[in-house]
Structure 1
Amino acid sequence: MTERGAVLLDRPERPGRPGHPLPQGAGRLPAGLLRTARPRQWVKNVLVAAAPAAAGELDSRHNLAQLLVVFTLFTAAASAVYLVNDARDAAADRAHPVKCRRPVAAGEVPAAVAYAVGALLAVLAVTGAAALCNTMTGALLTAYLSMQLAYCVWLKHVLVVDMAVVTTGFLLRAMIGGVALGIPLSRWFLITTGFGALFMVAAKRYSEAVQLADGGGATRALLTEYTTGYLRFVWQLAAGVAVLGYCLWALETGGCPASAPCAGGSLLPWRQLSVIAFILAVLRYAVFADRGTAGEPEDVVLRDRPLAVIGLVWAAMYACAVAGL
C-alpha cells in the first residue's frame, strides 16, 4: 500500500456520514430537555382559558391570540419548575425504580444545564407576561414560580401544605387568563376551581397511598405521613364544596354570564342545566379516585370515554348559555 493510501486510510472519519453514526450521546440533550419539561403535563395549562370561557369572552381573535400567548408563557414557567425540580432531585431519582429514567437522573441532561435552562425559561416567562399582557399577569406568574420553587425545595415535605401549593398552582392557571384579558373573576368561579383542583390533587395522593399500602412503593416520602382515610375525607370534602360552588355560580346570574348575549333570555336555562353534567363528571371521576387509580389525572381525563362525553355535553350546554340559544 502506498504511503498516500496509508495517509488516506488513517484520516479520521467525520461522524454522521453514511456508515459512521453519530456518537451515542449526540442529539440527546435537546430531546432530554424536552422530556424533562413534561409535554404531557402541558394539557393542564389549557385552564388559562377557563375564566374567559366562563365569561363568554372567547368570541374574538384578539382574545384567542392573547390566550395563546398566556398558554405559552405559563407552559414555559411550568417547564422551568420541572427542570429545576429534576435537577435538584437527580440523586434521589437515581435510586427510584421509575424516576431513574428521567433524563437528568439518567445522565442525558447535566444538572447544571437543567438549572440554566429552567432559570432562562422562568425569566422569559415573567418578562414576557409583563410586556405582552399586563403587570398583574407577570405578578401571578412570579407568584406561581415562587410557590412551585419553594415546593421543590421545602414545601413538598410539609403535611397538608403540599396539597395546598399544588392546588394553588391549578387555581393560578384558571385565574391568569381572566387577569390577562381584564375579566372580573366571580367568587363562585374561584371556589369551584379551587376545590375542584383540591379534589383531583387529594384523589391523586389517595391513589398513591393505596398503591403504597398494596406494596407498590411510595412515589413521595410524605405519603407515609398521610392515612388513606384522611385523604379520602379530603377529596370527598373538596368534591362536595366544588359541586356546591358550581351550583351557586350557575344560579347567581339567572343562568347566563352577565356579559354574554343570553343576558336577555334564552329558551332553556342552559347554565343551570349544566349542573347535571358537572355533577356527573365529578361522580365519574370519583369512581377512579375510590378505586385508587386516579394517580395521573391527565390520563383519567383524556382516556376515559364516558368522562370525555360528559365533558363535551357540559361544554355544549355552557356554550348554549353563552350564545343565548
Structure 2
Amino acid sequence: MTETAPLAGSAHADTATNQGEMSRPQWRAPGGPPARPRAGAVLRGLLKTTRPKQWVKNSLVVAAPAAAGRLFTREALTQVTLVFVLFTACAAAVYLINDARDAAADRAHPTKRHRPVAAGQVPVPVAYATGAALAVLAPTAAAWLSSPVVAALLTAYIGMQLAYCVSLKHVLVIDLVVVSTGFLMRAMIGGVALGIPLSRWFLITTGFGALFMVSAKRYSEAVQMAGKAGATRALLTEYSTGYLRFVWQLAAGVAVLAYCMWALEEGGVPHTSVLPWRQLSMVAFVLAVLRYAVFADRGTAGEPEDVVLHDRALALIGTVWLAMYGLAVANW
C-alpha cells in the first residue's frame, strides 16, 4: 500500500505531463522535419500565405473600365469582379509556389521564418500542389467565363512572376520592370475583359506610375540598408541609391506628363461638364505625386498601400483626385 501511492501519483503526473505536452505547440529543431499540422491550421496557413493584405493591389482591375466611363453597368461589374477574383488566385498561386521554393532559406531569415510554409504550418508539397492548382484553374476559368485574351494575360502574368521568383529578381533593372509590369497588367485586364480600347496615355501613366512606386520602394530599402550587412534583397547591394533616385524621379516625371497630356487632350467625348474636371484633376494628381515623393526622398516609401493609408494628407489628396477623375470621366 505504501508503494502504490507514489506509483499512482507518478502515473497521474505522467498523464498530466503528456496532456500538457499535447496542448503546447509542437516545436522542432531548426532544419528538422516539422510536426504534422492539423487540417484547420493548414487552411489558415494557406490563406495567410496568399497575402490577403496584398489583394488591394488587384483593385487596379477597375482602372480601365473606370477611365472609359463603363464601370457602373451590370456586365462591367460582373466582369470586373470576376477578373479581380481570378487575378487574386493567380497572385496567390505565385506566392504559394515562391514560399514553397524558398522554405529552406526562409527558415534562416529573422522574419520570413514565421511564414506558414517555412514554419511548418503548411507542408511544402501542399503549398506546391495548391499553387499549381490555382495557376491552372484561374486561366482555365478565365477562358470559360471571360475570354481567351484574359486567359492569355493571366497565363503570361503567372509565367512572368514565376520567372521572377526563380531568376529575374536577381537581374538588375529587369526586376524593376517585371514588378512594374505586374501592376500594369492588373490595370489592363479589366479593359481587356470588357473589350475596351486602352488609351496610350492610360498605359503610359499607369506603367510609369507603377515604376515610380516600385523604384521608390527599392530606393527606400537601399537607404535603410546602407552600411548594414545582410540586406533582405541581395540585389540591393548592386544598385546605387543615386541610380534608384534617378529612376523614381524619371518615372514620376513621365507619369505626370502623360497624365497632363490626357487631361489637356481635345476630342473624344464633347465637353459638357459644369467645370473642367479633367484639367482640374491635374492639380490633385501632381500634388499626390509630389506628396508621395516626400516619402521616397526620405527613404520611407514602403508598400504603396501602407504609404497612402498611413498619411492623412496623401489619402485626402487621393480622394479628391478620385472624385475629380470620376467627374471628368462621367463628363458631369
Alpha-carbon spacing, 1:22–1:63, altered in 2? closer, same or farther (3 Å): farther
Task: Give % identity.
Answer: 74
Q: Is the 8 A contact 1:211 1:217 kept in 2?
A: no
User: In the TM superposition, what are the counterparts of 1:88-107 in structure 2 within 5 Å?
Assistant: 88-107=101-120
Deviations 1:167-224 (A, max 9, x none): 1100000000000001000011000000000001101110110111153841111111
- Counterpart of 1:314, as a letter, is W
Alpha-carbon spacing, 1:63–1:293, altered in 2? closer, same or farther (3 Å): same
Higher Rg of the two aligned structures = 2
State yes or no: 1:127 paired with 2:140: yes
Q: Is the 8 A contact 1:36 1:82 kept in 2?
A: yes
Give secondary structure in 2 for the equivalent of 1:265: coil
Give secondary structure in 2 for the equivalent of 1:276: helix
Partner of 1:288: 295
For residues 243 and 237 of structure 1, the distance between their equivalents in structure 2, rounded to whole angstroms, comes to 10
Aligned pair partner of 1:265 in 263, 272, 279: 272
For residues 189 and 320 of structure 1, the distance between their equivalents in structure 2, rounded to whole angstroms, comes to 17
- Counterpart of 1:241, as a letter, is V
State yes or no: 1:199 paired with 2:212: yes
State yes or no: 1:299 paired with 2:312: no
Aligned pair partner of 1:149 in 162, 179, 194: 162
- Give unpaired runs (5+ residues) of structure 1: 1-19
For residues 21 and 66 of structure 1, the distance between their equivalents in structure 2, rounded to whole angstroms, comes to 47
User: In the TM superposition, what are the counterparts of 1:38-53 in structure 2 within 5 Å?
Assistant: 38-53=51-66
For residues 97 and 258 of structure 2, the distance between their equivalents in structure 1, rounded to whole angstroms, comes to 35
Give secondary structure in 2 for the equivalent of 1:177: helix
TM-score, normalization by structure 2: 0.87
Aligned pair partner of 2:319 in 284, 299, 312: 312
For residues 70 and 22 of structure 1, the distance between their equivalents in structure 2, rounded to whole angstroms, comes to 42
For residues 156 and 266 of structure 2, the distance between their equivalents in structure 1, rounded to whole angstroms, comes to 31
For residues 149 and 189 of structure 1, the distance between their equivalents in structure 2, rounded to whole angstroms, comes to 27
Alpha-carbon spacing, 1:130–1:288, altered in 2? closer, same or farther (3 Å): same
Deviations 1:116-158 (A, max 9, x none): 0001111111011111111110111011011000001110111
Q: Is the 8 A contact 1:32 1:109 kept in 2?
A: yes
User: In the TM superposition, what are the counterparts of 1:56-71 in structure 2 within 5 Å?
Assistant: 56-71=69-84
For residues 113 and 91 of structure 1, the distance between their equivalents in structure 2, rounded to whole angstroms, comes to 15
- For residue 264 of structure 1, report the CA deviation from its aligned partner: 4.8
Deviations 1:260-279 (A, max 9, x none): xxx35112110111011100
For residues 180 and 323 of structure 1, the distance between their equivalents in structure 2, rounded to whole angstroms, comes to 21
- Give unpaired runs (5+ residues) of structure 2: 1-21, 27-36
- Counterpart of 2:202, as a letter, is F
User: In the TM superposition, what are the counterparts of 1:191-230 in structure 2 within 5 Å?
Assistant: 191-213=204-226, 215=228, 217-230=230-243
Partner of 2:4: none
Alpha-carbon spacing, 1:232–1:23, altered in 2? closer, same or farther (3 Å): closer
TM-score, normalization by structure 1: 0.89
For residues 51 and 178 of structure 1, the distance between their equivalents in structure 2, rounded to whole angstroms, comes to 5
State yes or no: 1:189 paired with 2:214: no
Partner of 1:14: none
RMSD: 2.1
For residues 92 and 264 of structure 2, the distance between their equivalents in structure 1, rounded to whole angstroms, comes to 38
For residues 53 and 72 of structure 2, the distance between their equivalents in structure 1, rounded to whole angstroms, comes to 28
For residues 271 and 50 of structure 1, the distance between their equivalents in structure 2, rounded to whole angstroms, comes to 16
**Which deviates more, 43-52 or 27-36?**
27-36
- Counterpart of 2:125, as a letter, is A
- Counterpart of 2:78, as a letter, is A
Partner of 1:12: none
For residues 54 and 195 of structure 1, the distance between their equivalents in structure 2, rounded to whole angstroms, comes to 17
Partner of 1:139: 152
Deviations 1:63-88 (A, max 9, x none): 11110000000000000000111111
Give secondary structure in 1 for the equivalent of 2:119: coil
Deviations 1:268-318 (A, max 9, x none): 110111011100110111111111111222211222211111111011111
